[in-house]
Structure 1
């Protein structure tokens, strides 16, 4: 198939490589050309968004913020104005459910299918081709793209109509927030009382308290590895969307709000472009105690 991809960040690069390995023709665009270089070297063609849209059966987005999605899709030079009738637009960005619904409606009016399809699994899941894809839209559209999604995914689920893929990702991020603060506080407690943190992680991960935050990101924390598999600033964006949606539904989620504030403290300390595991740094500062 002729596939277009806009946004080759930390996860997008690996996902694009899987598509190329599967034998599809891939056109890509990224605002920073250097970040697209690994995909170009793997066989993709770098083109401008209009040409990409005009020549693609499926267009994938993997962008940073809802405002980026809105500009690329619905803006004055938006790709919906140039995509072929019958093409499919797939937005892997974690974005606003309300925006996903608007894009679905605008695409439908032009004879284009639209699916909001945020993913979970981080940089490792993208590299290993075992992402979870949470889709909102229509089954007929998902059936058309399912074979492509499967080249970098282990689990693809249609959660309901437009916007419900994004709502599912909000649940994912809410649960992750609890796992992240639990991991950080557990490691601080363990270090303070003299436990070997590597042994602690290996012991706990075989029990009921295990999570990816604990077994994968916890180990990165212990090693002082704060390189991004997912940027702090992007996670704050996700938590902001979740809190806005919770407010709209009159839900009180105090744990989510607390973790978001701690991530804001991390940004104030210069950690916006760290990986989410850098939450440890904010709590180390709060306690004047370092685990490394």
Structure 2
């Protein structure tokens, strides 16, 4: 049994922490909101501050919305850095800016501790099942120490490179996922307005080269009109904003990514900042004057 900490227990973090707990480890947790009952019932110790989590745990995980949130939890008064002692590991599962990640890692290293950026992909479904893809940046020794715990949360855990490269890999993931969600939305909307049954179109496409988890899961959400968030537009839009910032600094064109980002901006304009990212179809529907499910 190891002593593990977890700060940030939202849609993703709460499920990920539960899998660490199911692995038989002692868990110390902290969140600005109420800690999920399932963790408390399983024996998790609720701490008053991130500092307290870091004092009690040997490996501390964070899962937070954005770069400023990670910086605050790490370095604010009562933050994780204040509770660290030499030899501990901080693992950030958030999706944040690569450049800031390298700065955070350097500060944690100065305290005699290791830092791994380990953003995840797989949504709430993968977090629940413990089947996330986890893309890591850090040194080999720290990764080897943290991997048994990461394996409890993910089925594909990869050290991609040094600090910051895990975050860059997540940006690439979000480009592919976001643009594929947009493509599925285009296809199903076109089919529906042409008079086809979108359910049958979706079923016909599964098994061929157009098949994907996104077609299966997000296509279903679009047809059912189920936009309760698994992955929020707010967060995926943030990730594509990071992608566009990196593309500008590196001189790499990302035209499709820019379009997908703009369509999510359109959803935000409709009041959908907290919708599931599959709701990108609503921006296309607004332009088409037609919703999936209508009779053409």
TM-score bracket for the superposition, by shorter chain length = over 0.9
Structure 2 portions without partners, runs of 5+: none
- Using structure 1 for the length normalisation, give the TM-score: 0.97
Question: Map of 1:16-27 to 2, 5 A cutoff?
Answer: 16-27=17-28
Verify the 8 A CA contact 2:137 2:162 in the aligned structure 1.
yes
Question: Map of 1:53-202 to 2, 5 A cutoff?
Answer: 53-202=54-203
Cα deviation per residue 1:27-84 (whole Å; 9 max; x = unaligned)? 1111111x53332233212112121110111000000010000111123443112112
State the alpha-carbon separation in 2 of the partners of residues 277 and 38 from structure 1.
28
Verify the 8 A CA contact 2:178 2:236 in the aligned structure 1.
no
**Local SS of the residue matching 1:28:** strand
Partner of 1:45: 45
- Using structure 2 for the length normalisation, give the TM-score: 0.96
Verify the 8 A CA contact 2:51 2:81 in the aligned structure 1.
no
State the alpha-carbon separation in 2 of the partners of residues 137 and 22 from structure 1.
24
Partner of 1:247: 248
Alpha-carbon distance, 1:184 to partner: 0.4
Verify the 8 A CA contact 2:18 2:39 in the aligned structure 1.
yes
Alpha-carbon distance, 1:211 to partner: 2.0
Report the RMSD for the aligned CA atoms in angstroms. Answer: 1.1
Partner of 1:270: 271
Verify the 8 A CA contact 2:232 2:276 in the aligned structure 1.
yes
State the alpha-carbon separation in 1 of the partners of residues 64 and 37 from structure 2.
17
Verify the 8 A CA contact 1:191 1:291 in the aligned structure 2.
yes
State the alpha-carbon separation in 2 of the partners of residues 36 and 159 from structure 1.
32
State the alpha-carbon separation in 1 of the partners of residues 16 and 109 from structure 2.
26
Q: What number of residue pairs does the alignment pair up? A: 291
**Local SS of the residue matching 2:60:** strand
Structure 1 portions without partners, runs of 5+: none
